Amino acid sequence: MNVVTRFAPSPTGHLHIGGARTAIFCWLLARHYGGQFHLRIEDTDLLRSKQEYTDSILASMRWLGLDWDGPLNYQTQRTALYNQYVDKLLESGHAYWCSCTPEEVEAMREKAREQGLKPRYNGCCRERNLGPGEGRCVRLKAPLAGKVVFDDLVKGTIAVDVSELDDMVIRRADGMPTYNMAVVVDDHEMGITHVIRGDDHVSNTPRQILIYEALGLPVPRFGHVPMILGPDRQKLSKRHGARAVIEYQNDGLLPQALVNYLVRLGWSHGDQEIFTREELIEFFDGTSLNPAAAAFDPAKLEWCNAHFMRELPLSELAALVRPFAEQAGYDMTGLDDSRLEALCHMFRERAANLKVLAESFAPLLTPAASLPLDEKAAAKNLTEAGKGHLAALREVFAACDFTQEALEAALQGYIEGNGLKFKDVAPALRTALMGFMGGPHLPEIMAFLGKDETLARLARAAA
Ligand code: GLU
């Protein structure tokens, strides 16, 4: 099957998760069928469109791994092309010039409203055969009866009576084509076979189909995905923890986790939750798209990210966490790849994202003298008995090779040799090493810290 899809963001803000999900669906559909995926920048809103947003959207697309085919298209560069199509419609009698002023059109709408009808343009200039002129727009001559029917990939069959659709403006009085006109021309020129977009556009689709039909062009397949809702099933907002893709990136989310999470918001493959990219491409064929709106669940996104962080080879995780460690302000001089990998190995199980992971390294990268000591943990664990063990363990470890295995054996030897239990010793040791009651496996911590730093920590806590 020949599949050509597109993502058509308006650069009036950063890429948000709703847009990202649409882009992912379009990208996957194209990749599944070995087709093409295009990117078009819908920048006709001159007041709100900004190049910085286009750049940010492209950066987010790249970060998500959504590569596009062919050149980028900017709608503002294509006005002449759109107008050629408007001219064709005028020549074929499918469009006409209209001299009604906005005030007159508003009055028609008001009158319709008063009569309990749908507000619409009354077709006043339809048969007047006007030519171009100051203040005149061009309207599509829509059929007067019948239905526009299309089979939506997500929502199933949608039928709209043409009486609901008045003769829409396709070129404004200022010569600019309207949104629906531009989209149809673009989608046709770009050879788009499948238009997948948010269902905030579903009411545009019958209008766009009328333009295709008037131009005698094949109509693509449409799929309208429901909006993503907040956990309270209200409109999704920042208050729900939903943010722009770039903010997730800055927080250290993995792109594969965000892609995986977003794909599952509105699409399913049995009850599988975690997919490799290859699996997504293999399974995503444009079916199993859920017509019901899905709710954003930050906890599940976090779970998904933690999963991918655990699965990643340590070397990759270490490379990804490095900029976050730099940001955290650590002295990076001694932190070569193998030491970063060791830190990742110790802390990744407990971290939901790269930023938190980098921050969790702090106790091991702060020198003994300035390591904060949690007061409660100190009061509870650095008792006389606890300090006694720390002093004795200093002697034991001083004579020890600082590999994890040797430290493990030495600690075990001390516990067993003195008829103790692990819990008699571990809380004091942990408080001494970490400054609080938490953190990874004790011998692994010590092996990482090395002899000098370990002994310094024990000495400080025992004092
Ligand atoms: N530019 C539109 C938007 O950002 C997309 C329109 C479309 O996909 O047809 O909502």
Q: What is the pLDDT of residues 172-188, one digit of tens each?
A: 999 999 999 999 999 99
The confidence band for 371, taking pLDDT boundaries of 50, 70 and 90, is very high
Mutate to test the pocket of ligand 1, among 183, 194, 200 (most ligand atoms within 8 A of CB): 183
The confidence band for 241, taking pLDDT boundaries of 50, 70 and 90, is confident
The confidence band for 118, taking pLDDT boundaries of 50, 70 and 90, is confident
Same fold, 78-225 and 368-462: no
3-state secondary structure of 195: strand
Please state which architecture CATH assigns to domain 78-225: 3-Layer(aba) Sandwich (3.40)
- What is the C-alpha to C-alpha distance for residues 415 and 436, in angstroms, rounded to an integer? 21
CA of 28 to the centre of ligand 1 (A): 18
Q: Tell me, rounded to whole angstroms, the distance of Cα 196 from its chain centroid.
A: 17
Q: Is pLDDT of 240 > 90?
A: no
CA of 179 to the centre of ligand 1 (A): 9
CA of 263 to the centre of ligand 1 (A): 19
- pLDDT value, residue 239: 86
Q: What is the pLDDT of residues 326-350, one digit of tens each?
A: 999 999 998 999 999 999 999 999 8
φ, ψ at 325 (rounded to 5°): -70, -40
CA of 42 to the centre of ligand 1 (A): 7
Nearest CA to ligand 1 atom 5: 8
Beta bridge partner(s), residue 4: 36
Could you give the maximum distance between any two Cα atoms of the chain, in Å? 106
Q: What is the pLDDT of residues 408-458, one digit of tens each?
A: 999 999 999 999 999 999 999 999 999 999 999 999 999 999 999 999 999
Q: Which residues of 255-273 are buried (b: 16+ CB within 10 A; e: fewer)?
A: bbbbbbbbbbbbbebeeee
The response to whether residue 8 sits with its C-beta less than 6 Å from ligand 1 reads yes
The pTM (predicted TM-score) of the whole model is 0.93
Q: Tell me, rounded to whole angstroms, the distance of Cα 203 from its chain centroid.
A: 25
Check if the beta carbon of residue 158 is closer than 8 Å to that of residue 150: yes
Check if the beta carbon of residue 192 is closer than 8 Å to that of residue 5: yes
Q: Is pLDDT of 10 > 90?
A: yes
What are the structural domain ranges in the chain?
Answer: 78-225, 312-365, 368-462
Q: Tell me, rounded to whole angstroms, the distance of Cα 17 from its chain centroid.
A: 4
For the domain with range 368-462, which CATH number is right: 1.10.10.1200, 1.10.10.350, 3.40.50.2000, 1.10.10.10?
A: 1.10.10.350
From the CB of residue 74, how many other CB atoms can be counted at a distance below 10 Å? 15
Q: Stretch 91-96: mean pLDDT, rounded?
A: 98
In the numeric block, which tokens belong to residue 377? 């943990």
Check if the beta carbon of residue 245 is closer than 8 Å to that of residue 233: no
- What is the C-alpha to C-alpha distance for residues 18 and 115, in angstroms, rounded to an integer? 39
In the numeric block, which tokens belong to residue 128? 């007047």
Ligand 1 atom closest to residue 187's alpha carbon, by position in its atom list: 9
Mutate to test the pocket of ligand 1, among 197, 204, 228 (most ligand atoms within 8 A of CB): 197
The response to whether residue 11 sits with its C-beta less than 6 Å from ligand 1 reads no
Nearest CA to ligand 1 atom 6: 8
- What is the C-alpha to C-alpha distance for residues 387 and 460, in angstroms, rounded to an integer? 10
- pLDDT value, residue 249: 97
Ligand 1 atom closest to residue 42's alpha carbon, by position in its atom list: 1
In the numeric block, which tokens belong to residue 199? 């269902």
- What is the C-alpha to C-alpha distance for residues 325 and 339, in angstroms, rounded to an integer? 12
**Is domain 312-365 given the CATH code 1.10.760 in the classification?**
no
